[in-house]
Every structure is written in C-alpha cells, then in structure tokens.
Amino acid sequence: MFKQQNHSNSNDLNKPPSLEKNSKDSSLGSGAAWMRGKIVPISEASIPVNDWGLVRSDITYDVVPVINGGFFRLSDYIERFYVSMDGLKLDPRLGENGIETALLEMVGASGLRNSYVTMVCSRGIPTVPGSRDPRECENYFYAWCVPYIHVIKPEVIARGASALISDSVKRIDESSFDPTIKNYHWGDFTRGLYEAKEQNYDTVFLVDHKDCVTEGPGFNIFVVKDGKLMTPIKGVLHGITRRTVLEIAESLNIETEIRKITKQEVLDADEVFVSTSAGGVMPLVRVNSTIFSNNKPGHISKKIRKKYWEWTELSCYRTLINYSD
C-alpha cells in the first residue's frame, strides 16, 4: 500500500538511520522562536510572568518532528493541535495556514534540518485586570524549535532501556483532565520520574486507579504478545507516532488491538516499546524486574522502528522546508 524507498544508511537502532547534521550556524542555530509574528533566538523568547499558561498551566501545545529537512505528518499534528485548542476553548485567531507558515518560516530561518518543533496556544492575560473569567483572556499562539530531541537518549537505547511501573503515583484521572488534550500537567509524571530515577530506571509508566497502564512522560506504550501488538485505550494521548505505529503494523500484517492493558500484562509481554515524536519507536529491554527478548530489542519492535524511519522519508508524509542561506 505504501511505496518503500531505498536507503543507504545503517539500520542501527542507536539513531534514526538517515539523520544528517544541521548545516547552518547562526544566532538561531541552537533554537528559534516565533513570537507574535517575529522570529527570534530561543534565548530571547519570553512570555509574561502572569500569563495564565504559566501560572495556571492553562495552555496546550503539540510537537512535530523535522527529519532531514522536512516536517513529518505536519497536517496531522496541526489538526490534533486544533482538537486540543477546541477542547480547552482556546482560539489564537490564527488559521491552520497561518500556523503552518509560522512553523515553516521559523525552522527555515533556524537552519535546523532535524528539529523538535513545538506549537503552543496559551490562555494569556485577562484584558480586565484582576479578572478570574477565562473568557476575558486574550489567547495567543507562539512556537519554538531546537535541535532534535530523544525522549530516551540513543546511547540508552543502545545499551538497553528500562522503565519502572510506578507503585506510588497514579495517572491524573481523565475525569479531572482529558488526556487526549496535550498539556503541561506533568505533576504526576515528574513524581513518577523521581521514583524511577532513584531506582536506576530510565523512565516511568503510570497506571490509572484501576491498575491499567496508561502512558509515560512524553510517550505512548506498546506491548507485543504472541505476535499481536497492543496499546492502551484509556488515559492516553492519541499520539501521531502512535497512529503511525498502528498504520505500520497494518501494512506489515501485524494484528493490533487498542484496549485496556493491565500492569501484569505488560510484565507478561514478549516485547515492550514506546512511541514518541521525540525519537520515534524506542524498544525497552526491562520493565520492573522483567527482562524481555534476552535483554535485547524484540523482533517486532525492531521491524516497526526501522519502518518508522523509512516512513519519515515518504513524500506523502513530508512537508519540505525552504532554508534561506
């Protein structure tokens, strides 16, 4: 169904197989921001200290990757960004074309061929001083980009990444905040990361109040059992990389299922991996004390990871960036 392109790069799990170095050195080369129509070095970007996005986390965002000079699935990320803004009743008064143009111009000016690009909409500041009415705030859009980020560093994947399923922290309940709206409510994730890091794990998985696995800080979770690929249905962001993984699995005739997954099912799995815009598909070799695939990434995990990087080069998913020299 999808045309496969030839690649001359290695299939090494340590890094995206075709990732090239950024080729522009300027004041924007370490990062740029689009703030109210102007592109500035990221070190000069700022928001007001009384912005509700800061003081109340009344804000939403999305992250889209740039790989080898092109955005991957940009329209899908912008569409999800709008879903999040609608869910929070945010309106920056900037259409989809305006957002796309801002991102393209910002990354083009930065010279970053491989980048982690964030689009943000904040509630802003009340137009009536002292107001507690969110309807009286002036919402606004901004964006920023930095060199490509990996949620789990390549060297950690190379030596074998691990995760702890937290015993002390539960994922914030979806009745309190809709997890399908991308947000900065990281209090639960941060507590979980402290617990994991203090026990020498690389990252953390959180469960809900019924002990079903949800997601981790910046990624969705997948398990493989008897050749079937499964991912949690509740308490999770509907990740674009998650969607890509499911579509790749379909193209490879791998059976998939989206459903509730218990903590024990993760520990009983044959393979476990996570998916994220910041690193793609990342196999794990250990969750809690359980070791998978003889302490190596599993066969299906490796196959999907390889295919993910191939798909980032398909023209049907790419939006090329015009880099001004």
Distance CA 225, CA 68 (A): 34
CA distance 224 to 255: 10
Are the beta carbons of 314 and 25 closer than 8 angstroms?
no
Residue pointed to by tokens 């300027």: 26
Considering the four listed CATH numbers 3.30.420.40, 3.90.660.10, 3.40.50.20, 3.20.10.10, the one that applies to the domain covering 154-311 is 3.20.10.10
Where do you find CATH 3.30.470.10 in the chain? 32-147
For the chain, give the mean pLDDT.
92
- pLDDT score recorded for residue 2: 33
The pTM for the full model equals 0.91
Determine the pLDDT at residue 29.
87
Sheet strand arrangement including 256-259: 256-259, 228-232, 220-225, 271-276, 280-284
Give me the DSSP letters along 136-183. GB--EEEEEEEE---SS-HHHHHH--EEEEEEEEEPPPTTTS-TTS--
* CA atoms of 294 and 253, how far apart (whole Å): 25
Q: Which residue has the higher pLDDT, 10 or 188?
A: 188
**pLDDT tens sequence across 195-252:** 999 999 999 999 999 999 999 999 999 999 999 999 999 999 999 999 999 999 999 9
Residues paired with 259 in a beta bridge: 232
Which regions of the chain carry the CATH code 3.20.10.10? 154-311
- Whole-number Å distance between alpha carbons of 301 and 278: 17
Using pLDDT thresholds of 50, 70 and 90, give the confidence band for residue 325.
low
Taking the C-alpha atoms of residue 172 and residue 197, their distance in angstroms, rounded to an integer, is: 20
Residue 255: DSSP 8-state: -
Radius of gyration (C-alpha) of the chain in whole angstroms: 20
CB 287 within 8 A of CB 163: yes
Residues 243, 271 contacting (CB under 8 angstroms)? no
Cα end-to-end distance, the chain, whole Å? 37
Task: Give tens-digit pLDDT for 17-62.
Answer: 445 555 554 789 899 999 999 999 999 999 999 999 999 999 999 9
Can you say whether the dihedral through the CA atoms of 23, 25, 28, 31 is positive or negative? positive
pLDDT band of 144, cuts 50, 70, 90: very high
**CATH code linked to domain 32-147:** 3.30.470.10
**Among 48, 34, 47, 83, residue whose Cα is nearest residue 62:** 83
Say if residue 11's pLDDT is above 60: no
The full length of the chain comes to 325
